[in-house]
Amino acid sequence: MHRRSHVKEPPNKPKLKSLHVSPTNIHGSINLSFNPPRYLHKFFLIAKIGLSQTAKHNQVAQSEKICLVGMSVNGKCPKDFWSTLGAAVTLVEMSDVACAASGKAGGFLALDWCDGGPLEELARVSFNFHRSLAEDFDGARSYGYRAVTTLSLTVTESESSAGSSALPSWVNGAASDAKTIGTTETTAQVHPQLFTRRLVDIAVERHGVSVVIAKLERVEVEEEEGRVGSVVLEGGEVLEADAVVLALGPWSSKLVMLSSLFRVYGLKAHSIVLEPREASLISPHALFVKYYCSKTKRGRPLDPEVYPRPNGEVYVCGMSKEEEVAEDPAEIRGESESIAMLKRVAKSVSRYLGEGEARVKAEQACFLPCTEDGLPVIGEVPGVKGCYVATGHNCWGILNGPATGAVLSELILDGVSTIVDLKRFSPNRFLPPSIP
Ligand SMILES: Cc1cc2nc3c(=O)[nH]c(=O)nc-3n(C[C@H](O)[C@H](O)[C@H](O)COP(=O)(O)OP(=O)(O)OC[C@H]3O[C@@H](n4cnc5c(N)ncnc54)[C@H](O)[C@@H]3O)c2cc1C
């Protein structure tokens, strides 16, 4: 679909023009150990002595009010932390939980596909965080977390099937060039909507976090101190806040406080969700497809992705283009030609996914939040103490949500992130160079 230039391609690997990029391991062998010691220290400190004790340890005011805008994947994980800190946490969402990309994404996770680039640490910490969250929150049952084998393959429409022993039997279309590009140690998946909802439910049920369905209009800053004071919602309601997290995805561009600093644009991408009759035949293999629409293989191939899910669904996505983001996420519709193309892809990959064999459960579109330099923006908004931003996660927002949430909690608690080095992601990088 599109490629991020900062991710290195493995030598001699075919270029996959997809949402995600083929895995890279610049060191030649895969390091599977989860060993960011500073992160573990923080994690276990919280686990061992309890969150409220940790709060005292970190001298967080028990009366603090925290407002998190955007009920999506980014910024979610710290909610557990915050809510038990004695702080009153409010989630503000203009539409519904996981109504946008965080509900309609593929949910594919990779340990080492960002190795060698600026996302390496964020991605590795997040991948392992997903694994531990799934244990803590019964992710396998409640949001379809599982390890998967990941394959790349070429599929040509209307060609007769040649059959390949390198492919699982349900991939019975005209496929060739099959390669394993991720193992069950290095790739996994979640159902993003169920994942995000689960985190919100836990925050609400276990930690008394409140949810307000309303649109954020602006953030009020106390001029003297340059510190955040409140958020103002559409209709005029004011919520006082000692800390605010803006996790607005592609809608970051609609908030002047952010758009005056940097550009976030939306890349609209389509997806369909199928329910095949023969769901039991479909194995946990994620597919990155190079798709030719004609036998002549003329023209640029498409780069759809196919993700079977443990609940029997098969998710297929692709077909992206830059487009103005609709004001209301509920108004986002997929274009019929793009949806029709994804159905053709599904049928060509597997006859179990064709019309008559699979029910179409959803036809949808949503926006990847993209920045000019392809990197997320995570950190305190320059000039506004206590106001944090987390956006621009592009095609890796489901993967990188957990570490993003954890570093935000660190920034609020300690004023500094020890889990991941945030220098490359700081919003300060967009400030004009200072005059000496
Ligand atoms: C087709 C597709 C497939 C993808 N597949 C994967 C994948 O397999 N793996 C992966 O890691 N990533 C994937 N991604 C990327 C991932 O979905 C995104 O990076 C991530 O969901 C972005 O999360 P977010 O929280 O920043 O934004 P969003 O999910 O867009 O959420 C922003 C939220 O903020 C709310 N909001 C905005 N403005 C306001 C306001 N003023 N007031 C109140 N609320 C507001 C919106 O209503 C929305 O709920 C995919 C994306 C697409 C489009």
* 319 Cβ below 6 A of ligand 1: no
Check pocket membership of 399 for ligand 1, CB cut-off 6 A: yes
Sequence ranges of the chain with CATH classification 3.30.9.10 = 149-183+264-371
CA of 85 to the centre of ligand 1 (A): 27
Q: For a ligand 1 pocket test, name from 251, 268, 375 the mutation site with the most ligand atoms within 8 angstroms of its C-beta.
A: 251
* Three-class SS of the chain: CCCCCCCCCCCCCCCCCCCCCCCCCCCCCCCCCCCCHHHHHHHHHHHHHCHHHHHHHCCCCCCCEEEEECCCCCCCCHHHHHHCCCCEEEEEECCCCCCCHHHHCCCEEECCCCCCCCCHHHHHHHHHHHHHHHHHCCHHHHHCCEECEEEEEEEECCCCCCCCCCCCCCCCCCEEEEEEEECCCCEEECCHHHHHHHHHHHHHHHHCCEEEECCEEEEEEECCCCEEEEEEECCCCEEECCEEEECCHHHHHHCHHHHCCCCEEEEEEEEEEEEECCHHHCCCEEEEEEEECCCCCCCCCECCEEEECCCCCEEEEEEEEECCCCCCHHHCCCCHHHHHHHHHHHHHHCHHHCECCEEEEEEEEEEEEEECCCCCEEEECCCCECEEEEECCHHHHHHHHHHHHHHHHHHHHHCCCCCCCCHHHCHHHHCCCCCC
Grade residue 55 by pLDDT with cuts at 50, 70 and 90. Answer: very low
Ligand 1: does its nearest atom lie under 6 Å from the Cβ of 349?
no
Greatest pairwise CA separation for the chain in angstroms: 71
For residue 289, the CA-to-ligand 1 centroid distance in Å is 23
Q: What's the gap in Å between 159 CA and the centre of ligand 1?
A: 36
Predicted confidence (pLDDT) per residue in 236-279, tens digit: 999 999 999 999 999 999 999 999 999 999 999 999 999 999 99
Compute the C-alpha angle 31/33/35, nearest 5°: 120
* Centroid of ligand 1 to alpha carbon of 7 (angstroms): 21
Of all residues in the chain, the percent with pLDDT exceeding 90 is 67
CATH architecture of the domain formed by 149-183+264-371: 2-Layer Sandwich (3.30)
Q: Tell how far the Cα of 391 is from the centroid of ligand 1, in angstroms.
A: 9
Ligand 1, residue 215: give the atom nearest the CA. 42
pLDDT for the residue 169:
95
Closest residue by Cα to atom 51, ligand 1, is: 105
pLDDT reported for residue 62: 44
Minimum CA distance residue for ligand 1 atom 35: 70
Half-sphere exposure of 407 (CA within 13 A, CB side): 28
Residue 392 CA: which ligand 1 atom is closest? 26
376 lines ligand 1 (CB under 6 A): no
Task: Give the integer Cα–Cα distance in Å for 361 and 129.
Answer: 30
Boundaries of CATH 3.50.50.60 in the chain? 37-145+188-263+374-429
Q: What is the pTM of this model?
A: 0.87
pLDDT, residue 74, reads 57
Residue that has been written with the tokens 């969250």 in this structure: 133
Residue 420 predicted with pLDDT over 70 = yes
What class does CATH assign to 37-145+188-263+374-429? alpha beta
Atom of ligand 1 minimally distant from the CA of 97: 49
